[in-house]
Chain A
Amino acid sequence: MTDPAHLTAPVVPARRPPHGAPGPLARLKATYFPTPLQGLLTVVLGALLVVLLARLADWAVVGAVWSPADPAACSADGAGACWAVVAEKHRVMFFGAFPYEEHWRAALACLLIIAAFVVSALPRCWSPHLAWLWIATLALALWLMLGGAGLAELSTSDWGGLPLTLLLSAGTVSLGLPLALVLALGRNSTMPAVRLICIGTIELFRGLPLLAVLFMASLILPLFLGEGVTVDKFVRALVGMVLFFGAYAAEIVRGGLQALPKGQYEAAMSLGLPYWPMMITVILPQALRIVVPALVNDIIRAFKNTSFVAVIGLFDFLGATKASLQDPLWVRHTLEAYLFIMAVYFAFCWAMSRYALWIERRIDTDRPSHAP
C-alpha cells in the first residue's frame, strides 16, 4: 500500500503568525490589557485586590494569635485572627465526644472510607465488585467505631466530628445509590403500580427540604414504629439522608437511561435477554457511565448536606465545632473556627469537583465517534 499523496508531499515551511509579536510580554498584554478600557479595569481591580490581600494578610497572618496558651491575647486590641481557638479545640472539632484514647480508631476509620472513595473513583476499578469493597470497608469502619472483638465497646452516641460526617456520607452514598437504581428503573417500569409508587416517592422527597425529611425521620418515624422499637439517632438521620439522596440520584440515573439510544434496548431484547440480564449486562453499565459526572456532583452535595444533621442534634463536624465553641473562654472567636472547618470541607469538595471535571472529559473521549 502506498502512502496517500499528502503524506509524501514536501513539507511546506511554516508561515509567520498573522499579527502581534509572540512572547510573554505580548501574552500579558492580550490577557490583561487588550483594550484601554480593559486595561483600566485590570489596574483598578488589581489595586483593590492588593489592598484587600494586604488587609487580609494583616488579619490572618501578621496579627494572628497562634498559641492557645492565653485566650486573653486574642481579645487584645489590634489582635488579628485567633487561630489559637483551632489549636485548642481541634481534637473536639475533629472527633467530638469520642473517647480521647480511642481517637486513632476514628482516624483510621476516616482513612479507610476516604481510601474506598478513591478506589471507587478510578474508572479501571468500576465493576459490580465495588459493592464488596464497600461492604468490607463499612464493616471494618463500623468495627473500629463500635468496638468489640478486642476493642473497647462504644456506641453511636459517642460518635462525633469528621468520622461521623464521613460515615454518614459513606452510608448515604452506598445505600442511596442502590435505592436510586431501584427508583429509576421503577419509574420507567411498565407496571403501573410500581411506576406510581416510584414517582410518588421521588417527587415527595425532592419536593421537601432536606431538613424536613431529617426531622420526619428523627421525630415522626419513631411514632410509626410503635412502642418498644427504638432506632438509633444516627440510623434515623441516615434514613433521612438516604431517602433524600436516593430521590435526587434516581432522577440522574433516569436521565442516563433516557440518554441511551433506543437501539441498545431493542438489540438486547432481540437477543432474547430477559429484563434483569438486559439491564445488568447491557443498559446499566452504559447508562451509569454517562451520568458519573452528574452523580459525583450529587455526592458532593450530599457530603455538604451531611452538615444539616447538626440541626437535629447530631455532633457531626459542624455540630462538634459548634459544641466546642460553647466554651466561654473562646466563644468570641467563632469566626476563625468556622473558617477553618469551611477550609476542610472545601478541600474535600474541591477535590471531588476537580475529579468530576476530569472524568467528564475522559468519558467524552471514551465514547465511540458518531461517524459511520
Chain B
Amino acid sequence: MRRLLHNRRARSWIFQGLLVGGLLLVAVAAVHNARTALEARGIATGFDFLAAPAGFALSESVIAYDADASVGRAFLAGLANTLSVSLGAIVLATVLGVLVGLARLSRNRLLSGLAGLYVEVFRNTPQLIQIIFWYAVVIALPTIRNAVVLGGDIYISNRGLILPWLADPVAGTLVAGALSLGFIAAVVVLCLPGRHRWRGRAIAVALAVPLALLVLSIGLVGLSRPALQGFNFVGGVAVSPEFLALFLGLGLYIASFIAEIVRAGLASVDRGQIEAAVALGLPAGKVLFSVRIPQALRVIVPPAAAQYISLIKNSSLGVAIGYPELFNVSNSLASLTGQAIECVAIMGVLYLLTAMALSALANGYNRMTVITER
C-alpha cells in the first residue's frame, strides 16, 4: 500500500478515481434531490412538453408565431428574435467600430479625440444600464401623433421606428435576410486570407445582388409607406422600442470594443511595411487596403469574433426591457410549465451551439492565417 502511494502514476490514478467518483456521487445526489423536489410539487419531467401548446403570445416575432403554437416553436421564435437583433447589432458594431477605430488613428487631433471619447464612455459603463438607458430614451420620445420625421417617410416616436418597407411581408423577410447575408458574405470575403484577384469583384457582387433584389421587389410588390391614421400608423414596417433599444445598446457598446481591436490591429502592422509601400510609390488608399489592412486582419479577426459571441450572449439582456429573445422566452416557459430544468437546458444548448459555431469559424480562420514559424 505504501509503495502504491509513493508511485507517481498510481497516485495520479487514485486521485483521478476519487475525483470522478466524488463528482458522480454529487451528481447522483443532485438528480435525486431534484426528482424528489419535482415529484413533491407534481411537476412532470422530460421533453414531452415541447409539443404541447405554449399558450402565450410574444410581443413580436421574426418567424410566424401565435399563441396556439407549440412550446418548441416558442423556443425557435425566441432564437430567431435573438439572432435577428444580434445580426443587426453586429452590423452596427462592425461599421461603427471600424469607422471609430480608423478615426482614432487619424492625424486630426479633434477627430481622434472624439473617437477616443466615444470608446472610453461606451466601454467603461455597464452594458445593461446602456440598454435600459436607450429604452428610457425611446420611451421618452414624443407620442405617435407628434412623431418626429427623420426624413423621407421614416418616423420615430415612443412606439419605436416606422419606415417604409415592401408591401408583401414574405418578400420583406426574404429581402431583409438577403441584405444581411450579403453584408456578412462581403465581410467574410474581405477577411479571407491570401491574395485573390476576385476579392473586390466578389465583395461588389455580395453587396449588389441583395440591393438589386430590393429594387426589383419594390418594383414587383410595391412599397408600403406609413401614414398616420387616428392613433396609429398604417403601412410600412414598425421597429419596436424594445428591439431598437436592444439593437442600440448591444451595437454601440460592442462598437467601442471593435474600435479598440481595429486600432490595435492597424497599429500592430510593422512600420517598415508601410514605409516600404510608400517608398514604392503606392497611393494612400492602396497602402491602407493592400498592405496595412490585410496584415492587420490577422490580429483583428480572433478578438472581434470573441466580441460577436459576447454580443449574441448578452442579447439575453433583452429580458430587462421585455424584448422576447431566447432567454426571455425560456424564462416565461419555465414559469408557465414549471419545467425549469428542461427549459434552461434547451436554452443553454441553443446558446452554446451558436457560440460554438461562431468560435469554430474564428478558429478555422486563425489556422489559415497563423504565421508558421520555423
Contacts and interface: CB of A to CB of B under 8 A. Distances in A.
A204 to B, nearest CB: 8
B217 interface: no
Contacts of A311: 128, 317, 319-320
Contacts of B232: none
A208 B351 contact: yes
B176 interface: no
Interface in B131-149: 132-133, 136-137, 140
Interface stretch (A17-25, A30-38, A86-94, A252-260): A30-38
A349 B128 contact: no
Contact of B316 (A42, A209, A305, A334): A209
A349 B327 contact: no
Given A34-B107, A219-B340, A212 B133 contact: no
Interface stretch (A68-76, A261-269, A340-348): A340-348
A226 B126 CA distance: 35
A304 B130 CA distance: 11
Chain A binding surface, main DSSP class: helix
Contacts of A353: 120, 123-124
Contact of B124 (A224, A332, A338, A345): A345
A207 B351 contact: yes
Interface size range of chain A in the complex: 35 or more
A191 interface: yes
Q: Which of B20, B126, B317 has the most CB of A within 10 A?
A: B126
A307 B344 contact: no
A181 interface: no
Contact of A211 (B15, B133, B136, B317): B317
A207 B16 contact: no
B108 interface: yes
Nearest to B327: A211
B125 interface: yes
A311 B32 CA distance: 29
B121 interface: yes
A200 B140 CA distance: 45
B161 interface: no
Contact of B314 (A209, A225, A341): A209
A308 B128 contact: yes
A244 B3 CA distance: 41
Contact of B351 (A34, A209, A226, A350): A209
Nearest to A193: B16
B95 interface: no
A211 B128 CA distance: 11
B75 to A, nearest CB: 14
A190 B19 CA distance: 15
A192 interface: yes
Interface stretch (B33-41, B66-74, B237-245, B268-276): B33-41
Interface of A: 31-32, 34, 38, 41-42, 45-46, 49, 190-194, 197, 204, 206-212, 215-216, 219-220, 223-227, 300, 304-305, 307-308, 310-311, 318, 322, 332, 334-335, 338-339, 341-342, 345-346, 349-350, 353
23 contacts: A31-B108, A34-B107, A41-B108, A42-B110, A45-B111, A190-B12, A192-B16, A193-B19, A193-B20, A194-B19, A197-B23, A207-B351, A207-B356, A211-B314, A215-B327, A215-B331, A219-B340, A220-B340, A311-B320, A334-B136, A335-B133, A335-B137, A346-B124
Given A42-B110, A209-B316, A341-B129, 19 more contacts: A31-B107, A31-B108, A31-B109, A41-B111, A45-B111, A191-B12, A193-B20, A208-B352, A211-B319, A211-B327, A212-B351, A215-B327, A215-B344, A219-B340, A227-B37, A227-B40, A300-B124, A334-B136, A345-B125
